[in-house]
Amino acid sequence: MSKRTLPLGHGELLELAMELPTPFYLYDEQAIIDNYRAFKEHFSWAPNFKNYFAVKACPNPTIISALAKEGSGVDCSSLPELLLSEAVGLKGDDIVFTSNDTPANEFKKAYELGAIINLDDITHIQFLENTLGLFPETICFRYNPGPERTGNAIIGNPVEAKYGVTSAQIIDCYRIAKEKGTKRFGLHTMVASNELDGTYIVETARMLFELCVRIRKEAGVAISFIDMGGGIGIPYRPEDSPMDLGFVSREMKKLYDKIIVPSGLDPLTIIFEVGRMITGPYGYLVSKVLHVTEKYKDYVGLDASMADLMRPALYGSYHHITVLGKDREEHDHIYDVTGSLCENNDKFAIDRPLPKVEAGDVVVIHDAGAHGHAMGFNYNAKLRSAEYLLKKDGSIRLIRRAQTYDDYVATLRFDGAPVRI
Ligand SMILES: Cc1ncc(COP(=O)(O)O)c(C=O)c1O
């Protein structure tokens, strides 16, 4: 069981929702930092342990910068994510570039920043060399175990996944990179997403440790770091429990001592690219109830829509909802909680027991701090909401203003700019 927390009291949040245009996102900076520190602390035994925060989870420079001050790196998957990371002063070994189907200009920028480049395919070795006119001294490969592992519901079966180098190709990747002059090698994988069962992570570590030994034997390459990817889940449902990171850490250490130390590969740096687990629980979507309607079912219509938070519509994900000021009332009404898009799946919750809701009530949608605002979009010309940061001293900062109509039309050319005449 996990307890749902709010960053402020119900009264303070209600006041805020009257003061600021809704919907908006609110992140709790100190809770994010404490969470990051606790994650790192679990792995204090691991040589040079570091998390590279997955920028895609929450691409806001203020949050990235707060994490970077704590020693976090970043995992980037695109050119704009690289540019955002550069903008907060990150470069070199503080960036891992884990992309797929990568355009040449993105590899160029990653190299220019000195980022660790993580290649998704064996053909990308030549593509990267052609693009840069050289081959990097540090390289990492993303491994896809295929039939050797099962994935989970969100990430799917590895055999069906477009990512990574196969078991049959992986040794050749390191051989070729070594021939091209690479001196420092990494090994990456990501086979689970939003996983709460720690054994998945332990088994991933076992797989990578054993693969390090195989690579050493068959390619004559000593891996310097393994990248365990992201994918640590958070307890979205009240009945869920967070992943037992103490268990994960202890079991990984046992495997490290059993597999890595005797093989002479110690010290082997261990890194993660966790995003969701760091910011997810400490981001909140605050929205007002516009209408409560009784049709064949009862509906609570919010001023937020799936354009603000797509996860429930995309994955059928559960996000807990608190009706501010009514938490202690009987949850004896069953509602679908919707947005206003012309899409019937624009629903934050289906058949959710809630207290009696009225127009004007304010709701908080929990666990929206990762893959939340970031996945927003403009369908129905909906404008993206603002993001605010609650600071340790209780002050609140605007860290991304809401999109305006002018932003929305900024890329349009009403006059039809001549391209070919
Ligand atoms: C390559 C890679 N690394 C890291 C992450 C972050 O995953 P999470 O935020 O679930 O930890 C993702 C998520 O899609 C990913 O694709």
Q: Both tokens of residue 175?
A: 């051989």
Q: pTM of the entire structure?
A: 0.96
Q: Are residues 211 and 296 in the same domain?
A: no
For tokens 């955002």, name the residue.
Answer: 84
Question: 282 alpha carbon to ligand 1 midpoint, in Å?
Answer: 17
Q: Are residues 262 and 285 in the same domain?
A: no
Give the Cα separation of 98 and 79 in Å (integer): 11
Question: Domain limits at 366?
Answer: 281-404
User: How confident is the prediction along the chain (421 residues), in pLDDT tens digits per residue?
Assistant: 677 889 999 999 999 999 999 999 999 999 999 999 999 999 999 999 999 999 999 999 999 999 999 999 999 999 999 999 999 999 999 999 999 999 999 999 999 999 999 999 999 999 999 999 999 999 999 999 988 876 665 556 888 888 999 999 999 999 999 999 999 999 999 988 999 999 999 999 999 999 999 999 999 999 999 999 999 999 999 999 999 999 999 999 999 999 999 999 999 999 999 999 999 999 999 999 999 999 999 999 999 999 999 999 999 999 999 999 999 999 999 999 999 999 999 999 999 999 999 999 999 999 999 999 999 999 999 999 999 999 999 999 999 999 999 999 999 999 999 999 8
Nearest CA residue ID for atom 10, ligand 1: 231
For tokens 């342990």, name the residue.
Answer: 49
Q: Are residues 231 and 322 in the same domain?
A: no
- One-letter amino acid for residue 15 of the chain: E
* 371 Cα nearest atom in ligand 1: 9
In a domain, 308, yes or no: yes
Q: Please work out whether the CB of residue 276 comes within 6 Å of at least one atom of ligand 1.
A: yes
Residue where a domain stops, chosen among 279, 304, 321: 279
- Residue 260: give its domain's CATH number: 3.20.20.10
Q: Are residues 252 and 297 in the same domain?
A: no
Q: Please work out whether the CB of residue 74 comes within 6 Å of at least one atom of ligand 1.
A: no
Q: Please work out whether the CB of residue 190 comes within 6 Å of at least one atom of ligand 1.
A: yes
* 233 Cα nearest atom in ligand 1: 10
Residue 319, classified by CB atoms within 10 Å of its CB into exposed (0-12), middle (13-18) or buried (19+), is: buried
Q: Are residues 260 and 297 in the same domain?
A: no
Q: Please work out whether the CB of residue 75 comes within 6 Å of at least one atom of ligand 1.
A: yes
Q: Are residues 39 and 58 in the same domain?
A: yes
Q: Are residues 274 and 287 in the same domain?
A: no
Give 25-57 pLDDT, tens digit per residue: 999 999 999 999 999 999 999 999 999 999 999
pLDDT score recorded for residue 147:
81
Q: 210: Cβ–Cβ under 8 A, 6 or more apart, which residues?
A: 259
Question: 272 alpha carbon to ligand 1 midpoint, in Å?
Answer: 9
Nearest CA residue ID for atom 12, ligand 1: 230
Give the Cα separation of 335 and 353 in Å (integer): 7
SS (H, E, C) the chain: CCCCCCCCCHHHHHHHHHHCCCCEEEEEHHHHHHHHHHHHHHCCCCCCCEEEEEHHHCCCHHHHHHHHHCCCEEEECCHHHHHHHHHCCCCHHHEEEECCCCCHHHHHHHHHCCCEEEECCCHHHHHHHHHHCCCCCEEEEEECCHHHCCCCCCCCCHHHCCCCECHHHHHHHHHHHHHCCCCEEEEEECCCCCECCHHHHHHHHHHHHHHHHHHHHHHCCCEEEEECCCCECCCCCCCCCCCCHHHHHHHHHHHHHHHHCCCCCCCCEEEECCCHHHHHHHEEEEEEEEEEEECCCEEEEECCCCCCCCHHHHHCCCCCEEECCCCCCCCCEEEEEECCCCCCCCEEEEEEEECCCCCCCEEEECCCCCCCHHHCCCHHHCCCCEEEEECCCCCEEEEECCCCHHHHHCCCCCCCCCCCC
| Contact of 283 with 25, CB cutoff 8 Å | yes
> 267 preceded by cis ω (within 30°)?
yes
Report residue 236 CA to chain centroid gap: 15
In a domain, 409, yes or no: no
In a domain, 418, yes or no: no
Give the Cα separation of 62 and 389 in Å (integer): 9
> 23 preceded by cis ω (within 30°)?
yes
Residue where a domain stops, chosen among 248, 279, 310: 279
Give the Cα separation of 334 and 174 in Å (integer): 57
Q: Please work out whether the CB of residue 274 comes within 6 Å of at least one atom of ligand 1.
A: yes
Q: Are residues 265 and 289 in the same domain?
A: no
Q: Are residues 190 and 267 in the same domain?
A: yes
How close are the terminal C-alpha atoms of the chain, in Å?
A: 65
Which among 52, 56, 98, 152 is the best mutation to test ligand 1's pocket, defined by most ligand atoms within 8 Å of the CB? 56
In a domain, 180, yes or no: yes
Question: 273 alpha carbon to ligand 1 midpoint, in Å?
Answer: 6
Q: Are residues 239 and 349 in the same domain?
A: no
- Residue 352: give its domain's CATH number: 2.40.37.10
Residue where a domain stops, chosen among 245, 279, 313: 279
Give the Cα separation of 83 and 94 in Å (integer): 13
- One-letter amino acid for residue 281 of the chain: P
Give the Cα separation of 194 and 236 in Å (integer): 10
In a domain, 14, yes or no: no
| Contact of 308 with 23, CB cutoff 8 Å | yes
Nearest CA residue ID for atom 5, ligand 1: 230
Q: Please work out whether the CB of residue 275 comes within 6 Å of at least one atom of ligand 1.
A: yes
Q: Both tokens of residue 65?
A: 């910068």
Q: Are residues 250 and 341 in the same domain?
A: no
pLDDT score recorded for residue 308:
98
Q: Please work out whether the CB of residue 54 comes within 6 Å of at least one atom of ligand 1.
A: yes
Q: Are residues 137 and 111 in the same domain?
A: yes
pLDDT score recorded for residue 46:
97
**Structural domains of the chain, count:** 2
For tokens 């938070």, name the residue.
Answer: 309
The torsion region of residue 89 among left (phi > 0), alpha (psi -120 to 50) and beta comes to left
Give 316-338 pLDDT, tens digit per residue: 999 999 999 999 999 999 999 99
Question: 370 alpha carbon to ligand 1 midpoint, in Å?
Answer: 10
Which among 52, 77, 99, 189 is the best mutation to test ligand 1's pocket, defined by most ligand atoms within 8 Å of the CB? 77
Whole-angstrom CA distances from 209 to 49, 122, 184 are 15, 21, 17
- Do you know the residue count of the chain? 421
